[in-house]
């Protein structure tokens, strides 16, 4: 039995109610205290009663009582506030730095709890509880997914807030950077973000009425206009970019950063850059418009995009193909909505104290169909099928933050599995 399980047992009182200290005194737990995630004792502000005397203070938990000295708590005055030492094995009396002995209680757990814990920790399955998760009732899983979704959005809010600090709280600029990152759709997210950060939004705004200029600037800054190609469209882009590069002292990113392999041609960065230029061309103060939109369909209208005419017959600059209009599809919009638009809407509402915006973002998630990436496919195989993007995002949070790290004791599904054994 390790400390993690002992701390869990103390927090949820899984060891019965009739306790005695190792010296034979009656022990009553009035309050287990608050678990401490920082340095210091494991639980803070606990209240206990030893015989008739009530104590208020902190709790320290160890597998072996002798760990107290191994960790040198006996030399640390910050541990003098400990009123009870909770152990699985009482192999040594321990003392505060002032020489006073600390009351100790030895606890034991039901064998089934220890067995379940061991099963989860030693599991080599995709998720530790894969074989028993369906024994947890649907309501409990759904309730936990709701909390996970809020947790996921709050984590994203912290990241967005950090970017805002670095951008003088300019929401439009930070949104532009993240939107570009998302336009790279994982494989090209990094170079797309670098492209945006090397190409000031204010500069693009000054030329937003000229699509050809926007394309020249973006393709040039992407490092894609450095070659000699016998193509009129390409040469015109080069000419326009040369002017803007000198005028604004621009420095392009390296073209080798862009990935084409393992991508469907419609997702080539050349196509996405042209579509991104189209988005800037047909929208102004995009973030402000999105925040004021009442329906998800209203936001989708801003993303009715298609690459410029040249790209109807090209996927790259140097090769002509059969004609096909390169539209920005609904699935691409949903990806942008899930990963950029709605997190920003939620964060804006959170920072500005506008709960209606937070709720609107959550409602929009419920109106988008569930994602179908490899993680969600695995959840479906197990028997957990999300109904919408709200639930699929929550399942991503569950897998990435809890299951992969085997944080079963911090997971409500894990809690339910342990409560069945207690």
User: What is the end-to-end Cα distance of the chain in Å, rounded?
Assistant: 16
- How many angstroms separate the Cα of 12 from the Cα of each of 59, 60, 103, 109? 14, 15, 21, 12
For residues 46-84, one letter each, b for 16 or more C-beta atoms within 10 angstroms of the residue's C-beta and e for the rest, the string is bebebeeeeeebbbbbbbebbbbeeeebbeeeebebbbb
Q: Measuring CA to CA, which residue among 362, 364, 373 is closest to residue 396? A: 373
Q: Kindly report the length of the chain.
A: 422
Which residues in the chain land under pLDDT 50? none
Residues 154/343, Cβ–Cβ less than 8 Å: no
- The owner of tokens 């321990």 is 94
Identify the pLDDT of residue 422: 56
Helix (H, G, I), strand (E, B) or coil at 92: coil
pLDDT at position 18: 79
Give pLDDT, residue 245: 97
Assign residue 386 a region (left: φ > 0; alpha: ψ between -120 and 50; beta: otherwise).
beta
Q: Within a 10 A sphere around the Cβ of 327, how many other Cβ atoms?
A: 14
Cβ–Cβ under 8 Å, residues 81 and 99: no
Q: Hey, how many other C-beta atoms are within 10 angstroms of the C-beta on 191?
A: 22
Quick: pLDDT tens for 329-379: 999 999 999 999 999 999 999 999 999 999 999 999 999 999 999 999 999
DSSP character at residue 412 = H
Q: How many CB atoms lie within 10 A of CB 85?
A: 26
List the beta bridge partners of residue 87: 62, 106
In the prediction, which pLDDT does 419 show?
Answer: 83
Dist CA 13 CA 19 (whole Å): 11
Distance (Å, rounded) from C-alpha 85 to C-alpha 107?
A: 11
Burial readout 285-311 (b: 16 or more C-beta within 10 A, e: otherwise): ebbeebbebeebeebbebbebebbebb
Other beta carbons within 10 angstroms of residue 11's beta carbon come to 16
Per-residue confidence (pLDDT) for residue 16, from 0 to 100: 72
**pLDDT at residue 17 in the model:** 67
Dist CA 102 CA 93 (whole Å): 8
* Domain residue extents for the chain: 3-109, 167-366
């Amino acid at each position: 039995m390790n400390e993690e399980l002992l701390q869990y047992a103390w927090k949820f009182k899984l060891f019965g109610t009739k306790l005695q200290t190792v010296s034979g005194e009656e022990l009553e737990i009035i309050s287990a205290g608050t678990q401490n995630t920082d340095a210091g004792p494991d639980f803070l502000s606990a209240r206990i009663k030893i015989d008739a005397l009530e104590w208020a203070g902190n709790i320290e938990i160890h597998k072996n009582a002798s760990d107290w000295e191994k960790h040198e708590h006996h030399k640390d005055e910050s541990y003098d506030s400990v009123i009870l030492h909770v152990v699985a094995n009482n192999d040594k009396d321990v003392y505060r730095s002032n020489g006073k002995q600390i009351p100790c209680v030895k606890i034991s757990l039901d064998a089934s709890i220890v067995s379940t814990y061991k099963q989860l920790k030693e599991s080599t399955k995709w998720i530790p509880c894969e074989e028993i998760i369906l024994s947890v009732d649907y309501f409990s899983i759904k309730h936990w997914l709701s909390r996970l979704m809020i947790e996921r959005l709050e984590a994203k809010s912290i990241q967005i807030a950090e970017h805002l600090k670095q951008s003088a709280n300019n929401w439009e600029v930070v949104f532009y950077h993240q939107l570009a990152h998302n336009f790279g759709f994982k494989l090209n997210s990094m170079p797309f973000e670098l492209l945006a950060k090397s190409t000031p939004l204010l500069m693009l705004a000054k030329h937003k009425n000229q699509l050809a200029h926007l394309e020249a600037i973006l393709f040039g800054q992407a490092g894609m206009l450095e070659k000699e190609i016998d193509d009129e469209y390409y040469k015109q882009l080069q000419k326009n970019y040369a002017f803007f590069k000198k005028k604004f002292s621009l420095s392009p990113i390296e073209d080798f950063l862009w990935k084409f392999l393992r991508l469907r041609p419609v997702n080539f960065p050349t196509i996405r850059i042209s579509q991104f230029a189209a988005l800037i061309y047909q929208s102004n103060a995009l973030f402000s418009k999105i925040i004021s939109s009442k329906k998800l369909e209203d936001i989708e209208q801003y993303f009715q995009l298609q690459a410029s005419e040249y790209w109807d017959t090209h996927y790259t600059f140097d090769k002509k193909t059969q004609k096909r209009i390169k539209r920005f599809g609904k699935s691409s919009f949903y990806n942008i909505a899930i990963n950029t638009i709605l997190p920003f809407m939620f964060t804006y509402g959170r920072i500005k104290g506008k709960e209606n915006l937070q709720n609107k973002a959550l409602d929009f998630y419920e109106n988008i169909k569930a994602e179908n990436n490899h993680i969600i496919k695995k959840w479906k195989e197990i028997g957990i099928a999300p109904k919408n993007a709200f639930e699929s995002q929550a399942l991503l949070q569950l897998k990435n933050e809890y299951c992969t790290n085997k944080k079963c004791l911090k997971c409500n599904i894990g809690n339910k599995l342990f409560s069945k054994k207690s």
